[in-house]
Amino acid sequence: MPSKRAASIIQERNIRYPSEIYVRDIAMSLGALVRERELESCEARLVRKGNMGIISVNRLIPEEGRKRFAIAHEIGHFVLHTGNQLILCDEDDMFSTPNRFR
């Protein structure tokens, strides 16, 4: 379940307050590098091979909170799915139900 996995990631890092959540650091600790670049037709994407990944977030997103959400969304894919993958998430995907990606 995604919410339980997110809770365990937060607990493992002794995060007590939302202000202590650094999504880029969390991604790196899990094996995923975060980079900003211009992306066409998606807000963010995950490229994964084995236990390593690259999360790209669209640098044209003007709001930092929206970028953080997109990164966290891709971290969710990274921890919930295994194996090699390429996942592209547009704005609609960010707010869709979790079952879409199972």
Map out the domains of the chain with their CATH numbers: 2-101 (3.30.160)
Q: What is the pLDDT of residue 94?
A: 65
Q: What is the pLDDT of residue 56?
A: 96
Q: What is the pLDDT of residue 101?
A: 41
CA distances from 55 to 14, 27, 41, 60 (A): 24, 8, 15, 15
Q: What is the pLDDT of residue 96?
A: 59
CA distances from 91 to 11, 13, 16, 34, 36 (A): 29, 29, 29, 18, 16
Q: What is the pLDDT of residue 26?
A: 96
DSSP track, 26-92: HHHHHTEEEEEE--SS-SEEEEEETTEEEEEEETT---HHHHHHHHHHHHHHHHH--SSEEEEE-HH
Mean pLDDT by 10 residues, the chain (102 residues): 86 92 95 95 90 94 94 92 73 58 40
Sheet order of strands, 85-89 included: 32-37, 52-58, 44-49, 85-89
